[in-house]
Amino acid sequence: MTEEVQSENKMGYMPIPKLLFTMSIPMIISMLVQALYNVVDSAFVAKLSEDALTAVSMAFPVQNLMIAVSVGTGVGINALLSRSLGEKQFEQANLAARNGLFLGIVSYVIFAVLGLIGSRQFYLSQTNDPELVLYGTQYVFVVTVFSFGLFLAVLSERLLQAEEWACMQTLAHEVLHTCWGCRNHGKRWKGYAERMNAAYGFRISRTETCQALGVPDAKPVRYVLVCQNCGQEFRRAKASALVQHPERYRCRCGGRLERRL
């Protein structure tokens, strides 16, 4: 097994003590920074007045809720992405990364909208003090509308905990779809993919394979489907929908699929 493959699949080959250290320290720092948001804010606003400190303290549940949503979403994405990469199901890994980023954006938008229209109502439900309501409304507005950094940091951290190089290539594949005119795998998308491959050494293609990603294919091949038109083989380890109902699918060339094994 080559050194390149070993470095790309560190969770499979790196010594456990070193693996725990290299993966846990960044997570500890990240979670510490998240936990210190409200603490650091409290230390600063305490210099203004007691009411300002009280207003910040009352906003702590909102910050905890944002952290809970971002971390919960990130853990789910990480689990699904790692499982997909481990099973060599790279199309599913692409879908997991795409949906994960979409969920992160949706979560941010929801909290930003709630911060815009619900900050004052949130404080009015707890106090009638006009100064507390004023300070609190301004604070919650800032921490919700500008929370995109929180969601981006947490999701990026969880995504990159999977097999690093393969995960980065999967993310790069999906980022290209955000470019204008690159919703599908057309000529424009392929052109951008070639540029990124040349710049960063990726091997981005329409459908990633074990060989293209440099990941050893350790899964046993139990099913083989062949295109009746071009002869391309599709190997699968599980009895997926493709294996059970090949008549519903077509090869990239448009040919019908036939199960041979």
pLDDT (tens, 9 = 90+) of the chain, 261 residues, equals 344 444 444 555 667 787 777 777 777 777 777 777 767 877 888 888 888 888 888 888 888 888 888 888 887 877 777 777 666 676 677 777 778 778 888 999 999 999 999 889 988 988 888 888 898 898 899 889 888 878 877 777 666 655 555 566 766 777 777 788 777 777 888 888 888 778 776 767 665 455 554 444 555 678 888 888 888 888 887 788 888 888 888 887 888 888 887
**Same-domain status, 235 and 162:** no
Residue 218 lies in a domain: no
**Same-domain status, 51 and 165:** yes
Residue 214 lies in a domain: no
Predicted structure pTM score: 0.55
- Looking at residue 230, its amino acid is C
The rounded distance, in Å, linking the Cα atoms of 202 and 218 is 22
Q: Are strands 233-236 and 223-227 parallel, antiparallel or unpaired?
A: antiparallel
Residue 11 lies in a domain: yes
**Same-domain status, 158 and 84:** yes
The rounded distance, in Å, linking the Cα atoms of 79 and 100 is 11
Residue 235 lies in a domain: yes
The rounded distance, in Å, linking the Cα atoms of 176 and 184 is 10
For the sheet containing 233-236, what is the strand order?
Answer: 233-236, 223-227, 257-259
**Same-domain status, 42 and 142:** yes
Q: What are phi and psi of 2, to 5 degrees?
A: -75, 160
Residue range of the domain that includes 86: 3-176
**Same-domain status, 108 and 170:** yes
Q: Domain end: 144, 176, 208, which one?
A: 176
Residue 189 lies in a domain: no
**Number of domain units in the chain:** 2
Residue 195 lies in a domain: no
The rounded distance, in Å, linking the Cα atoms of 147 and 196 is 30
